Amino acid sequence: MATILSIGKAIPEFEMSQNMAVDFAKEIFSDSFKDIDRLLTVFKNGQIEKRQFAEQLAWYQTEHSFEEKNNLYIEKAVKYGIEAVENCLTNKNLLNQDIKYDDIDAIFFISSTGFSTPSIDAKIMNHLPFKKTTKRIPIWGLGCAGGASGLSRAYEYCKAFPKSTVLVISVELCSLTFQHNDHSKSNLIGTSLFADGVACTCVVGQSVEWKKKSKLSTLPEIIGTRSTFMKHSEDVMGWDIKNNGLYVVFSRNIPSIIKKWLKPQMMEFLDEHKLKLNNINHFIAHPGGKKVIDAYIDGLGFTEGQLDISKEVLRNHGNMSSVTVMYVLEKYLEREIGKKSDLGVIGALGPGFSSELLLVTWKG
Angle between helix 18-29 and helix 185-193 axes, rounded to 10 deg:
160
Q: How far apart are CA 264 and CA 262, in angstroms?
A: 6
Q: Measured between alpha carbons, how far is residue 171 from residues 12, 60, 140, 297, 360 in Å? A: 11, 19, 10, 28, 24
Widest distance between CA atoms in the chain: 62
**Nearest Cα to 154, choosing from 84, 220, 82?**
220
Q: How far apart are CA 224 and CA 221, in angstroms?
A: 9
Bridge-based pairing of strands 50-53 and 104-111 is: unpaired
CA dihedral 146, 152, 158, 164 (to 10 degrees): 30
Q: How far apart are CA 55 and CA 155, in angstroms?
A: 34
Cβ atoms within 10 A of the Cβ of 215, count? 14
**Does the annotation mark 144 as catalytic?**
yes
**Nearest Cα to 194, choosing from 113, 307, 118, 274?**
113
Q: How far apart are CA 338 and CA 17, in angstroms?
A: 31
Who contacts 160 (Cβ-Cβ below 8 Å, separation ≥6)? none
Q: How far is CA 21 from the centre of its chain?
A: 21
Q: How far apart are CA 61 and CA 9, in angstroms?
A: 27
Give, rounded to a whole angstrom, the gap between the first and last alpha carbons of the chain. Answer: 14
Query: Among residues 88, 144, 200, 202, which one is catalytic?
Result: 144
Bridge-based pairing of strands 354-363 and 219-229 is: antiparallel
Question: Is residue 198 within 8 Å of residue 322, measured between CB atoms?
Answer: no
What residues are annotated to the active site? 144
